[in-house]
Structure 1
Amino acid sequence: MSENKKYTIVVKSSRVEVSESVYRAYHKEREAERYQKKLIHQFELSLERFQDDGVNVEFSITRFQPSIEDMLIEQEQFLKLHIALDALTVEEWLLIHKLFFNGKSERILAGELGIPRMTLSDRKHRILRKMRKVIED
């Protein structure tokens, strides 16, 4: 019975007959677009939307700002990280920098250095333990 059913979509203000697969793909895309618009609207922060929803703008802005306590904790953590990095030898610092700041994988870096990946992994863990000890002291 579905063989006799006609499928149409609107193209430039005209209805055009299409196959069932084109019809389903078209509507699947439209539903995805509607869903995206709904998500965008849900997370949109605009003065007009706040006014429409009766939300106090000052409250909404401060709600998304980190607290002073959070900022101080983050500053202290950065300071401790820098102290721990300063405690490393040049070779240790370079290894950590390449792995964590440049995003190289252990496999690629081990290949570049001409050492087994497990040797590199052991060095990395030893350095991280050293840094943890500096941070905790």
Structure 2
Amino acid sequence: MNEKEEREKALERYFIPVDGKYYETTREVYEVYYQMDRRERYLEERDLKKGIINFGDIDNDDYSAEEIISDKDTDIEEEVINKILIKTVLEAIMTLDEEEKWLIQELFFYGKSEVVLSQETGVARTTLQSKKYKAFEKIKKIMKI
């Protein structure tokens, strides 16, 4: 190599994009990165021509595309009914007095047993059980069950 080529080679700098910013790297890393990038674009173009869907593009925050497609047992009607029932039950709970709301919350939302709740509050377990059944009756009446 002559002196001019050596100076030009010393001035060559290579950059690759990472998270929207460009970072300087070696020539080897630069070449491998762009080979992989080109390969990925080639595969995407090939799939597009063949009509193959890239499931990575249809993922959402709640469920991946694979989960949506593989879940053949999903019954939309049943899901809607369950959501309506949950909404109705929550609305019925909101009509209870504060003590009843608190009891339902502790037992069913926080998963505490009547025994544990009795120990924490000093209220007899049978009293808590009685109050729970009264709250249930109010909820049933509101829901007209």
Structure-2-length-normalised TM-score: 0.49
- Please give the alpha-carbon distance, in whole angstroms, between the structure 1 residues aligned to 2:77 and 2:92: 22
Partner of 2:100: 92
1:122 shift after superposition: 0.4
Partner of 1:106: 114
Partner of 2:91: 83
- Identify the match of residue 126 of structure 1 among 102, 119, 134: 134
- Please give the alpha-carbon distance, in whole angstroms, between the structure 1 residues aligned to 2:70 and 2:130: 46
- Residues 1:63 and 2:39 aligned together: no
Structure number with the bigger relative contact order (C-alpha 8 A, sep ≥ 6) is 1
- Please give the alpha-carbon distance, in whole angstroms, between the structure 2 residues aligned to 1:67 and 1:107: 38
Partner of 1:35: none
Query: Max radius of gyration: which structure?
Result: 2
Structure-1-length-normalised TM-score: 0.51
Unaligned runs of 5+ in 1: 1-56
1:61 shift after superposition: 2.8
Aligned residues: CA RMSD: 1.9
Give, as a single letter, the amino acid of the residue that structure 2 aligns with 1:77.
L
Q: Percent identity?
A: 32
- Identify the match of residue 81 of structure 2 among 63, 69, 73: 73
Unaligned runs of 5+ in 2: 1-65
1:62 shift after superposition: 5.2
SS of the aligned residue for 1:63 comes to coil
